[in-house]
Chains A and B, each alone.
Chain A
Amino acid sequence: MTDFIDKAGFGLKARHRAEKRFQWTGRLAILISLAFLAWMVVTIMIGASGAVRLVQIAVPVDLSVENVDPDDIAGAGYGAIIKQGLRAQFPEVSKRAEKKRLYNLVSPEGSFELERQVLSDPTLLGGTPLVWVTASDDLSLYVRGKINTDLPEDQRQISDQEIAWVDQIQDQGRIRNVANWGFLTNGDSREPEIAGILAAFVGSALSLSVCFLLSFPVGIAAATYLEEFAPANRVSDVIEVNINNLAAVPSIVFGLLGLSIFLGYFGLPRSSPLVGGMVLSLMTLPTIIIASRASLKSVPPSIKEAALAIGATPVQAVFHHVFPVALPGMMTGAIVGMARALGDTAPLLMIGMVAFIVDVPRSILEPATALPVQIFLWADSPERAFSEKTSAAIIVLLVFLVAMNMVAILLRRKLEQRF
């Protein structure tokens, strides 16, 4: 009798080899994707490291009565006070052009910062305190070593003279790095050192809320009707094919549609999160409908039959029994659609959400921009200091995405626990 578990039989060796091969291919594929992911994250982190720090410079400011009237603190010329303080440090500077460069060491925002500090602490008045204000972007880049000083003077943003000034100030310990919270709490700005992401973040959040509120109910209602109630005939076939086609339409086309219908025909406010959300919901609807239908289809029909057999109406059978089982799957579909909407720029460009927005939008009718658009704008900017912001903005976008997914997963857990 031959060995019962003879290895040579049934071509087993080759089959096991094939199995091993497949497993290793799979592992390799996962490894490669992980490597790319890690690479991406590290690059972004390194890129963002500049944007999370803010360089400040201490300027001695003369707040005597001649400069600031204690009865009219807000009326003083703080820009001039800072300039005066800078001049006092370098009395040898006299030429107009040189003075201008000296003043440029401090960000234009500096005068407002000084004003705010004086308003919040009037005891400063009368003396000549050292006050920390935001440094200009060129100074920041230099201090962080981002400017190659080996280059000839006319090829870099900062001249030899300025370098001499900065080095001298730095030797006095009057330059420091602080955490740049302003990045999270400011809107966009012409000045990279004070430009922030909040306006774009709020714009995205508002647009996505509008998008979700429109596309989720409409999407699952359409999916439920098509899957559970619509008669199977030519019309529903045509609808099905068209929904599948819509899901594949490039998003910029929906932007054009939004431009001509929402803005052109209905005259809704341009650049507003309302229109942005409506355009994005056009884009996410097909995705949500397709995912929801698949989810409904996967519910065993025996559950619906059981409900009908004890005298539930078809609507009751669907909403009491099929729907709750399918809901988590529908939410997954919605999140996939929303994630796409969050990252999409093209349709928003079409409806004007690409404007330069400084103020944080307070309603869905005010002009706004969105995170991916802001990233696009900054990445496109010729100023070095802006491109540093790009990475930081991408991190904010990713955190937004992860947070959204987390909420969805938590909601799913909660729903699924009910059997």
Chain B
Amino acid sequence: MNDPFIMARSVNVFYGDKQALFDVDLDIEEKRVTALIGPSGCGKSTFLRAINRMNDLIPICRFAGSLKISGHEIYDPDVDVVALRAQVGMVFQKPNPFPKSIFENVAYGLKIHKMTSSKTELADRVEWSLKSAGLWDEIADRLDEPGNSLSGGQQQRLCIARTIAVEPKVILMDEPCSALDPIATAVVEDLIDGLRKDFTIVIVTHSMQQAARISQRTAFFHLGNLVEVGDTKTVFTNPQEERTQNYITGRIG
């Protein structure tokens, strides 16, 4: 059998003396949506940020174990994190567009990675990205306006457009809908479902319904441990572990 696209083995993460993840072994399959669920503080974000090494930005954070993407050990000393992050994009909980125009927001990644060779190509890529993020129809005539002038849901889709513009292999999303109203959430959920064709998506969510709606696989974390992982349907209808059962029925967390 082939190796899974992302393969975590014995992942331990420490913040100073405090251990946030304990021996996590997790496989994430290509071109599927994997949801990470669990009560607050259980280490979902920590695991997610380990995948694109955003944890490196926290001086006290230390990683031990093995994390391979497409067979490459990403914590090898010779791995360039800049190249890694170009391949593993991230969408944050709070929409954080750059304080620049809508166009510049999407074009920025393309520019720094020199992915286009002409102005028209750049404009085409930006248009494609905004269309893929389902934002184009709403803002086609306001590309020069600041990204911050959009609504929260539009800003989050702008952030998604910005991420997919550079065509990463993996998109990490940390509670991308927690700042959005139900309608905007539904729009983003549709979008995520559509992106599954082209990208491997890992999403952290607090909403069990959301996990059930958009993910194919679900991993349940508790107190820094990976308790259970499996097909979303199985995890929600027939969990193997009692702690999972308690969490999805609302008894812990």
Chain A residues in the interface with B (C-beta under 8 A): 231-232, 300, 302-303, 305-313, 316, 320-321, 324-325, 418-419
Contact = CB atoms under 8 A, between A and B. Distances in A.
B73 to A, nearest CB: 19
B1 interface: no
Contacts of A312: 82, 108-109, 112
Nearest 8 A-B pairs (CB), nearest first?
A311-B86, A302-B96, A309-B90, A419-B146, A310-B109, A311-B85, A306-B96, A419-B99
B159 A305 contact: no
A139 B86 CA distance: 82
Interface of A is mostly: helix
Q: Specify which of A303, A310, A311 lies most central, judged by the most chain B CB atoms within 10 Å of its CB.
A: A310
A310 B168 CA distance: 9
Given A309-B54, A321-B100, 10 more contacts: A302-B92, A303-B96, A303-B99, A310-B86, A310-B112, A311-B85, A311-B86, A320-B108, A419-B100, A419-B146
Nearest to B159: A306
A403 B108 CA distance: 37
B92 to A, nearest CB: 6
Contact of A307 (B59, B87, B98): B98
A101 to B, nearest CB: 73
Interface string B94-106: 1011111100000
Contact of B112 (A300, A311, A324): A311
Contacts of B153: none
Contacts of B166: 310-311
B57 A308 contact: yes
Contacts of B66: none
Interface string B203-229: 000000000000000000000000000
A308 B85 contact: yes
Contact of B85 (A231, A232, A303, A309): A309
Contacts of A305: 54, 57, 92, 96
Contacts of A316: 112
Contacts of A320: 108, 112
Contacts, number: 71
A407 B162 CA distance: 36
Contacts of A321: 98-100
20 contacts: A231-B59, A303-B96, A303-B98, A306-B98, A306-B159, A306-B162, A307-B108, A308-B57, A308-B85, A309-B90, A310-B109, A310-B112, A310-B166, A311-B87, A311-B166, A312-B109, A320-B108, A320-B112, A419-B101, A419-B146
A348 B82 CA distance: 49
Nearest to A304: B57
Interface of B: 52, 54, 57, 59, 82-87, 89-90, 92, 94, 96-101, 108-109, 112-113, 146-148, 159, 162-163, 166
A321 B148 CA distance: 14
Contacts of A311: 82-87, 109, 112-113, 166
A308 B53 CA distance: 10
Given A303-B99, A419-B146, A310 B54 contact: no
B136 to A, nearest CB: 19
A414 to B, nearest CB: 15
Contacts of A313: 82
Contacts of A308: 54, 57, 85
Interface centre among B54, B59, B112 (most CB of A within 10 A): B112
A307 B92 CA distance: 12
B163 A310 contact: yes
Contact of A310 (B89, B100, B146, B148): B89
Contacts of B82: 311-313
A310 B81 CA distance: 11
A419 B144 CA distance: 11
Nearest to B149: A419
Contacts of B112: 310-312, 316, 320
Contacts of B109: 310-312
A303 B101 CA distance: 14
Nearest to B100: A419
Contacts of A300: 96
Contacts of A306: 92, 96-98, 159, 162
Given A309-B89, A311-B82, A324 B54 contact: no
A300 B82 CA distance: 21
A310 B96 contact: no
Contacts of A310: 85-86, 89-90, 108-109, 112, 162-163, 166
Nearest to A320: B108
Given A316-B112, A320-B108, A419-B148, A309 B99 contact: no
A419 B159 CA distance: 17
A311 B113 CA distance: 8
- Of B82, B113, B163, B166, the most chain A CB neighbours within 10 A belong to B82
A229 to B, nearest CB: 12
A235 to B, nearest CB: 15
B114 to A, nearest CB: 11
Contacts of A231: 59
Contacts of B87: 311
A307 B105 CA distance: 10
Contacts of B85: 308-311
A231 B99 CA distance: 27
Nearest to A310: B109
Contacts of A303: 96, 98-99
B108 A325 contact: no
A303 B85 CA distance: 15
Nearest to B94: A302
